[in-house]
Structure 1
Amino acid sequence: MDNISHFTVFTLSQLEESMSVKQTCLALSLAVYLLIIILNLILIVTILLEKSLHEPMYIFLCNLCINGLFGTTGFYPKFLYDLISDTHVISFGGCYLQFFVIYTSVLCEFTTLSVMSYDRYVAICRPLDYHSVMTDKIVVKLLLFSWLLPAASLTIALVLTNRLSLCGSHIDKLYCDNWSIVKLSCEPAVINNIYTFIGIIVYVSVVILIICSYSKLITACMNSTENKNKFMHTCVPHLLSLANFTVALVFDIIYARYGSRDFPRSIRNFLALEFLIIPPIFNPLIYGLKLTAVRKRVFRAVKVKGTDLFNVKMR
């Protein structure tokens, strides 16, 4: 790291807009962040407090919501601060921490969705074996897998990036990501590129695993009305979540690797932020509305809370 001894911070891109537009962005971003927190916390608390929801499917859904909060925490506080600041800078340690948190969350989303697809496969294709297969120990192992594989992957990426000598400190993005730092390297980052390629293969394999699971699920559901109902109520939200997140992540990868400076800045910012805005809101909404057990308990809790507040006011 001798070549970067004169650098103490990274500089990030900023919104090249008027103060009034920045204030509007600040209000909208704060509203989105609060909405993400509220929606995900509602599902997390509902699942934790309702004993009838202490089943693998709902536990994995809870994990998905926790991951959504984790990932957005790596972005929104810093971004909101930058909107009211004249200089958009971040320390080296803060930058590495930010990309670690954001992209650990990204990979954890995929591993959690793969675990959920396996759970649905066992529930629909092997219903008699479900409780013997999805034991408490297996659920804990699957949860650990969904977090440890992404964390380990990003730790290795961080170590490989940290060893590079950098010839610049400006990141052409609203937040830190690994590829943006690697592009600042003074030397060819061959090892980083090889590791990235291996990582892509691993996570493409995860997506293939999910697709294979659902191909078997669809085949099994074709011959049973009961299985069709199970598929529509528990698998459709999962497929919508997977499709939404995959499209969002592809946008981010295309932007990071092949984004052209000829694109309008607003489009480039949208491509960079889409997976940090849409999935964290989309997941709790689609699962909360589609899964009957969760929806009923959320509405019941809201109704009870509203009744209690009304009684307090009447007194």
Structure 2
Amino acid sequence: MDNRVNVTFLLIDGYVELHKYRYLYFMIMLTVYILIICSNSTIVYLIWNHQNLHEPMYIFIAALLINSVLFSTATYPKLLIDFLSEQQIISYLGCLVQGYVYYTLASSEFLLLAAMSYDRYVSICKPLQYQTIMTKTNVNVLLVVAWLVPTCQGAVLFVFNAKIKLCAFTLKGIICNSTFQTLHCERSTVLNVGGLVVLTNVMICPTIFVLFTYTRIFIIAYRSCREVRRKAAQTCLPHLIVLINFSSLTIYDVLLLRMTEFPKIVRFIMTLQMLMYHPLLNPIIYGLKMKEIYKHLKIFFRKMF
């Protein structure tokens, strides 16, 4: 195998006993992927189809669920192919593209959660101004920003990654996440600084903003009547659960690059959790905990069965 081929293709070496459990892995991941698509798409359909769900809060939830489907689609088809392949490889460009899409959508998740927290803050803390602040135009602007900012920032990092020379060609993982940078011949200062800037913009700042707004909401709700407290708990707790879950998985992904001695089995299990747990959790949380969505969901399943 010549140097040109070595540079073009990377060996994926993160699977555990794939030769023994390949068909089990395939069936489990295929089932999960179908569940992710069906569950998320069902709630998006309900929000789109019912006029009383055409409110900012539900629109942001639909955007979050669409994000989950796209996030899964960026990784699952390649995993399913790898499970049945004799050799698990990915092209250099393909790995860059997968990592770009993976991190762009993950970043959008934080910005969408921040937009949702702002919507809840205005709804509970400034109810008289809600209609004038959360207009259709402002909602659209928040959605565009949530997807456009990570797309542009990720594109810059994509270009820098594409220009860096590789000295290793074995990926210690099953997807092209932060472990890809361990293949570089040397750590790039520009890439490290750029990554820190992106991390601050799309994870740290949105998370601080969410915690700040929800703190304000709970303080005001605590001082208000029982109905306000109930409304705050009903609409804010699902968002907080999703934020805590996704933040924990993202922190693991950030640490993965710096803790090179992670046991292979731990890397494998944690990566599967990132790919399976969160996209499945979102429709469960919002489908069962949001009263209006749950009501339409029950009617939908009654008609189906």
Q: TM class by shorter-chain length?
A: over 0.9
Q: Are 2:169 and 2:183, in contact at CA under 8 Å, matched by a contact in 1? A: yes
Aligned to 1:168: 168
| 3-state SS, counterpart of residue 98 of structure 1 | helix
Report the RMSD for the aligned CA atoms in angstroms. Answer: 1.6
Aligned twin of 2:76: 76
| Matches of 1:23 and 1:279, distance apart in 2 | 23
* Corresponding residue of 2:135: 135
Q: State the match for 1:313 in structure 2.
A: none
- Give the whole-Å Cα distance in 1 for the aligned partners of 2:20 and 2:187: 42
Offset at residue 200 of structure 1 (A): 2.4
Q: 1:182-203: per-residue Cα shift (whole Å, max 9, x none)?
A: 3222234111011112222222
Partner of 1:234: 235
For 1:225-252, what per-residue CA distance to the aligned partner results, in whole angstroms no more than 9, with x for missing partners?
A: 1211111111010001101111111122
1:86 maps to which residue? Answer: 86
Cα offset, 1:117, TM superposition: 0.3
Task: State how 1:95-110 maps to structure 2 within 5 Å.
Answer: 95-110=95-110
Q: Distance in 2 between matches of 1:249 and 1:4?
A: 34
Match of 1:248 in 2: 249
Offset from partner CA, 1:52-71 (integer Å, 9 cap, x none): 10000000000000000001
Cα distance per residue 1:18-72 (max 9 Å; x no partner): 6442211111111111111111011111101111100000000000000000011
| 1:1-315 correspondence runs (5 A) | 7-17=7-17, 19-177=19-177, 179-202=178-201, 203-224=203-224, 225-261=226-262, 263=263, 265-306=264-305
**C-alpha distance after superposition, 1:251-272 (max 9, x if no partner):** 22222321414x2x22211222
Shift of 1:4: 6.2
Say if 2:16 and 2:265, in contact at 8 Å, map to a contact too: no
Q: Indicate the larger mover: 159-168 or 291-300.
A: 159-168
Give the Cα–Cα distance (whole angstroms) in 1 for the partners of residues 25 and 6 of structure 2: 34
**Aligned sequence identity (%):** 32
TM-aligned CA deviation for residue 171 of structure 1:
1.2
Aligned partner of 2:69: which letter?
L
Superposed displacement of residue 287, structure 1: 0.7
Residues 46, 296 of structure 2: 8 Å contact kept: yes
For structure 1, list consecutive stretches of 5 or more residues without a partner in the other structure.
307-315
Q: Per the alignment, in what secondary structure is the counterpart of residue 183 of structure 1?
A: helix
Q: Could you tell me which amino acid in structure 2 is paired with residue 54 of structure 1?
A: H
Q: Deviations over 1:186-222 (max 9, x none)?
A: 2341110111122222221111111110110011100
Question: 1:14 Cα deviation (Å)?
Answer: 4.4
Question: Is contact 1:161-1:181 (8 Å) kept?
Answer: no
Cα distance in 1, alignment partners of residues 284 and 152 from structure 2 = 30
Contact 1:252 1:273 (C-alpha < 8 Å) held by counterparts: no
Gaps spanning 5+ residues in structure 2: where? none
| Residue equivalent to 1:312 | none
> CA, structure 1 residues 269+156, in 2 after alignment: closer, same or farther (shift >3 Å)?
same
1: CA distance, partners of 2:98 / 2:61: 24
Give the stretch that moved more between structures: 197-206 or 94-103: 197-206
Q: Distance in 1 between matches of 2:53 and 2:191?
A: 43
- Give the secondary structure class of the aligned counterpart of 1:87: coil
Question: Deviations for 1:162-198, whole angstroms, at most 9, x for unmatched residues?
Answer: 1111122221110112x33332222341110111122
Q: Residues 180 and 256 of structure 1 are in contact (CA less than 8 Å); yes or no, is this contact kept in structure 2?
A: yes
